Amino acid sequence: AGGPPPGQFDVFSDDDWQSAFELTLMSAVRMIRATLPHLRAVGGGSILTLTSSSVKEPIDFLLLSNVMRSGVTSLAKSLSRQLASENIRVNNLVPGLIATDRMVNLDTAQAKAKGISFDEQRSASQALIPLGRYGDPTEFGKAGAFLLSDAASYITGATLVADGGTMKTVW
């Protein structure tokens, strides 16, 4: 689904907020609710939610995503403590700028808002990434596979950032 549409506060209606809530937070709630009986039946396992770097550093033009993905992150952290005694781990994976259709849409929207070309916007975005490029979806998938694997058996309640070094926060 990608995520809620980009935009600033004044452009969003109550329906936009509700749609973002359903798309982002409630989809995670429903996925976890559907998964738990199976994990409990086999004696444990791992749940991984995908959020956004906006949970640590809000992103301009992504107000709805910033708000709703923070809720997903808090849900996962809360559940990691609640479900640990059942041998169920819950973690978050935070993508940076990954080369997906969503990035095409975001670069297009930002280029339009700034009055510049798509290529200029894309170059400007990539210049902000210490590794100098958007991430590949396969790289992001490998980070998720790690968190779901036995190699991460002592990790729960964590938020792993796969962003090419973009985020400036220390936590």
Model confidence at 50: pLDDT above 70:
yes
Would 90 be classed as within a structural domain?
A: yes
Q: 34-37 — which CB contacts under 8 Å span 24+ positions?
A: 36/83, 36/88
Give, for 161, the enclosing helix (H) or strand (E): strand 159-162
Would 3 be classed as within a structural domain?
A: no
Range of the domain at 41: 9-162
- What is the CA angle 125-132-95, rounded to 5? 70
Neighbours of 66 (CB within 10 A): 18
Q: What is the pLDDT of residue 132?
A: 97
Would 1 be classed as within a structural domain?
A: no
Would 70 be classed as within a structural domain?
A: yes
How far is Cα 168 from Cα 87, in angstroms, rounded to an integer?
A: 33
Q: What are phi and psi of 84, to 5 degrees?
A: -60, -40
Would 151 be classed as within a structural domain?
A: yes
The conformation of residue 134, written as its DSSP 8-state character, comes to P
The per-residue pLDDT for range 108-135, each reduced to its tens digit, is 999 999 999 999 999 999 999 999 999 9
What is the overall mean pLDDT for the chain? Answer: 95
How far is Cα 42 from Cα 98, in angstroms, rounded to an integer?
A: 34
Would 2 be classed as within a structural domain?
A: no
Looking at residue 136, which CATH number applies to its domain?
3.40.50.720
| pLDDT mean over 77-105 | 96
| pLDDT mean over 21-32 | 97
| 81 within 8 A of 148, measured Cβ to Cβ | no
When computed from its CA atoms, the radius of gyration of the chain, rounded to whole angstroms, is 17
Would 143 be classed as within a structural domain?
A: yes
Would 55 be classed as within a structural domain?
A: yes
Tell me how many domains the chain contains: 1
